Amino acid sequence: MIVVFGSINMDLVARVPRIARPGETVLSLRADSFFGGKGANQAVAAARMGQGGPGQVAMVGAVGNDPFGAACLKNLEDNGIDVRAVRMTDEPTGCAFITVDDIGENAITVASGANMALRSMDLPDSLLSKASVLVLQMEVSLADNLDAAARARQAGARVIWNFAPVPPAKERSGMADLLEATDVLVVNEHEALSIAEILNIPAGADYLKAATALARDFGPTCIVTAGAQGAYAVSGDGTQVHAPARPIAPVDTTGAGDTFVGVLANRLAEGLEVGPAMERACAAASLSCLTPGAQAGMPERQALERYLAQA
């Protein structure tokens, strides 16, 4: 079983000709709501890979006792995800305010709400004992991520940590410990450089140098997603594996990284090596960019296999 410990948001999305600069107002015709949150997105991406049926993916998170929370829970259930460890809180459900421009790039502000009320004790031992993989991101407390990772390791589960988004300076303590408790770190180019800088690793603007040092000094396999360049996995011994991405014309890149992480978790849990797992994760991430919203374009397993066979 894949257990995702993380955020659940409602995304309010406006399409704009270009993303506003500070102090500027840009008009959009309308706002749409989509299901989001990095944790929930990764759980849905993994669940859409099927095999194992309902309950193969469990979400551990927190929502508000409000209409957004109820809708987010139902969406997770509709995707076959076990939501028994999602807690209702007095805080409002997390909400992301997203603008997407004409070339599919986005800018996101997250109002965390209930997500910051999530605690590692919300992850029951009974669930952890069934987990082969625990998936973490950075939209909930780092201290609770760290505790969840340590418990997962003890229980024999593999820990995948998606270091996104980069936390503010005052919320970074424990990062080195979390990295040491991680089996697979997933970052984009910018996040690779940020984590290296935070941990005082000299890498300049070279994200692969950063990844190599992170893997060597802290132990995890370090995967860097690099957009059109695909993804690179670097191990502690310096071995590098590359998976290419297929060219696409993106409509909305929101959730592409989450699709990568969810599909990667699914394929690693099924025993695939990191190279072929990344290849499938890259293809799924590309497909997810062809439809507006974080989750709408995430492929089912058969659609992904057809796409891989075509290319």
Catalytic residue list: 258
Q: Taking CB under 6 A as the criterion, which residues in 181-240 touch ligand RIB?
A: none
Contact status: 108 vs ligand RIB (CB under 6 A): yes
CB of 93 to ligand RIB, least distance (A): 11
Helix (H) or strand (E) holding 94: strand 94-100
Q: How far apart are the two ends of the chain, measured CA to CA in Å?
A: 30
d(CA 133, CA 140): 18
Residues in 135-154 at the binding interface with ligand RIB, rule: CB under 6 A: 139
Q: Does 255 bind ligand RIB (CB under 6 A)?
A: yes
Of 10 and 128, which has the nearer Cβ to ligand RIB? 10
Q: Number of residues interacting with ligand RIB: please give it, by CB under 6 A.
A: 16
Strands 9-15 and 94-100, sheet pairing: parallel
Residue number with CB closer to ligand RIB (49 or 110): 110
Full DSSP string of 118-178: --GGGS-HHHHTT-SEEEE-SSS-HHHHHHHHHHHHHTT-EEEEE--SPPPGGG-TTHHHH
Contact between 75 and ligand RIB per CB under 6 A: no
* Spatial contact of 123 and 60, defined as CB atoms under 8 Å apart: yes
Q: How far is the CB of 254 from ligand RIB (least distance, A)?
A: 5
To ligand RIB, the closest distance from the beta carbon of 273 in angstroms equals 26
Q: Which amino acid is at 177?
A: D
Question: Strand 184-188 vs strand 2-5: parallel, antiparallel, or unpaired?
Answer: unpaired
Of the pair 7, 266, the CB lying nearest ligand RIB is at: 7
Based on the shown chain and the rule CB under 6 A, indicate whether residue 11 belongs to the binding site for ligand RIB: yes
Among the residue ranges 7-15, 22-30, 66-74, 266-274, the one whose residues contact ligand RIB (CB under 6 A):
7-15
- Look at residues 84, 81, 92, 73 and name the one whose alpha carbon lies nearest to residue 35: 73
36 binds ligand RIB, rule: CB under 6 A: yes
* Separation CA 237–CA 206 (nearest Å): 18
Q: Which of 86, 100, 110, 159 binds ligand RIB (CB under 6 A)?
A: 110
Q: Which of residues 291-310 bind ligand RIB (CB under 6 A)?
A: 294
Residue 9 Cβ, how far from ligand RIB at the closest point, in Å? Answer: 4
Q: Which residues are 225's β-sheet partners?
A: 188, 231
Question: Is 262 an interacting residue with respect to ligand RIB (CB under 6 A)?
Answer: no
Residue 37 as a binder of ligand RIB (CB under 6 A): the answer is yes
Cis amide prior to 165 (ω within 30 degrees)? yes
Nearer Cβ to ligand RIB (96/222): 96
Question: 28 vs 235, which CB is nearer to ligand RIB?
Answer: 28
Question: d(Cα 195, Cα 204) in Å, to the nearest integer?
Answer: 12
Judged by CB under 6 A, the stretch of 120-128, 155-163, 251-259, 284-292 that binds ligand RIB is 251-259
Q: Which two tokens stand for residue 287?
A: 């497909």
Q: Judge whether 284 and 299 are in contact, CB under 8 Å.
A: yes
Please report, as ranges, the residues that interact with ligand RIB according to CB under 6 A. Answer: 7, 9, 11, 36-38, 41, 96, 108, 110, 139, 254-255, 257-258, 294
